[in-house]
Amino acid sequence: MSSMSFSRSARGVTLVELMVAMVLGLLVAAGIISVFLSMSSSNSAQTQMARLQEEGRFAVQRLTDDLNMVNAQYCSSTGGVANTTSSGVYLDGLRTPIVYAKTFSPLHNTTPWGSPYPDTPAAPYPLPSFFFMRGYDCDTSTCTPTAPAEIPEMGTDIGNRVVGAAVLTVRYLDSAQGWALGGASTMTSVNGEITDVSITPGTGEPPLTDFKAGDLGMVADCSNATVFAVTGNGNFKPDADNNLAVPRAVRLTDQAAPKFFDFSRAFRTVTYYLQVVSNDGTATGKKTGALMRCDNDNTDPCQEIARGVERMDFRYGVEDANGMVRYLTANEVDTATAGGTLACPPGAANQLTPDAGCLWRAVKAVELHLLMDGQKPLYSLLEPDLAHSYRPDGIATPAAPSSSGFAVKPSDQGFDDHMMRREFNVLVMMRNYNP
């Protein structure tokens, strides 16, 4: 009896029992792996979406900040000393600076003179409309108007400008710079013409070493501004060889709060475009787009603002004769002339002729559209997850990236289809409508 009891207690599981146990174990393991992969994929998608949202919000905010500054010119953007008209009514006139300098060469990314704009002026002239803001709409092959030469060519290689993304250049005065006139710093004029500007930097004002040879000077008050070439440093005199005429002085009154600026540096030139980058910074990484901001005030002129930006488009709101705001393409604004479908805003007496691009000064609002991606392909995403909208292309209902409705597809840009994409848009009102 004891021998039979020992043999039963020592008996193991049968082969069938072992196989059943293994199958059950594999099913449990497969379930665990499936849940893990699903959670991992969901976590990756959620992380991408959070990153996409954050990059998109930051890109929109940075662009909005600069758009809010377009046309800003010292205190003349928000007030000024009004002039009496022939009817006896006090009105603010066109406050754009009058330029006496023969060239703008010290300024970064300046639109050249000539068709469709006037030839190089031979007499002092108001700073033209296109100088303050100029946009460029791009398709898969070209930009209209032609994009600035200072930025990269379009292409799909890392370092190229992203195919089909718009470009925008804006300018405004950094009024925090400059030297106040009327105390230790003075301006002397004879018969209304500037003879010299003597600068002694006060507390909080920039050192004179910031003013470089070849920079243009600007005297401005809260109603007027004069831009001219100078010689010297500290005791500035108009440069007769590089000015179209002897620059006229602005009024030095207590209410005017006059200042002398290094125009070439205080007048900021900011250009936005998209550049092809890799998502991990290596040559083998997946390609995406980055929002680039070029600023003439920086030692490193072009800096990356946000990554994962594939498309960028602008529409420019101009008020018509009926008081309605119409949204135009960059080319429609740029080719506008006096007498066109939309009237140019009132100009100065010595307005440039022809005043091509006159509507740039009349832009009251800018509609900004960005298309963001998650930067990293997720091949587990299903077709509904890849669908997205982009209103500049007329895609209001989400569609797949390869849809024929998109004017520019990820494949045109060298980007992978299998990424999350979302559109960001905002309407920015111009603060400084009368430059």
E strand or H helix at 217: strand 216-220
Per-residue tens of pLDDT for the chain, all 435 residues: 455 555 555 567 787 777 887 888 888 877 777 766 666 656 667 778 888 889 999 999 999 999 999 888 887 654 444 555 454 544 445 567 889 998 876 565 566 677 777 788 889 988 877 788 899 999 999 999 888 888 999 999 999 999 999 999 998 988 888 999 988 999 999 988 999 999 999 998 999 998 988 899 999 887 788 999 999 988 999 999 999 999 988 766 656 788 999 998 898 889 999 999 998 888 888 999 999 999 887 667 889 999 999 999 999 998 776 778 889 999 988 887 766 667 676 665 566 776 777 788 778 899 999 999 989 888 888 888 889 999 999 999 999 999 989 999 999 999 999 998 999 999 999 887 654
pLDDT for the residue numbered 80: 43
3-class SS letters over 129-188: HHHHEEEEEECCCCEECCCCCCCCCECCCCCCECCCCCEEEEEEECCCCCEECCCCCEEE
The answer to the question of residue 279 being in a domain is yes
pLDDT for the residue numbered 324: 80
The residue to which tokens 């013409």 are assigned: 193
The answer to the question of residue 306 being in a domain is yes
pLDDT for the residue numbered 26: 83
CB atoms within 10 A of CB 131: 24
C-alpha distances in angstroms, 287 versus 178, 263, 296, 391? 43, 39, 28, 24
CA 156 to chain centre: 21
pLDDT for the residue numbered 92: 47
Sign of CA dihedral 251, 227, 80, 204: negative
The answer to the question of residue 298 being in a domain is yes
The answer to the question of residue 409 being in a domain is yes
* Residue-number span of the structural domain to which 301 is assigned: 51-93+128-172+267-429
Residue type, 262: D
The answer to the question of residue 215 being in a domain is no
The answer to the question of residue 223 being in a domain is no
Pick from 147, 179, 182: which is nearest to 163 by CA? 147
The answer to the question of residue 241 being in a domain is no
Tell me the two tokens of residue 184. 């230790």
The answer to the question of residue 194 being in a domain is no
What pTM was computed for the model?
Answer: 0.84
How are the residues of the chain apportioned to helix, strand and coil, as percentages rounded to the nearest 5?
Answer: 25, 30, 45
Total domains, the chain: 1
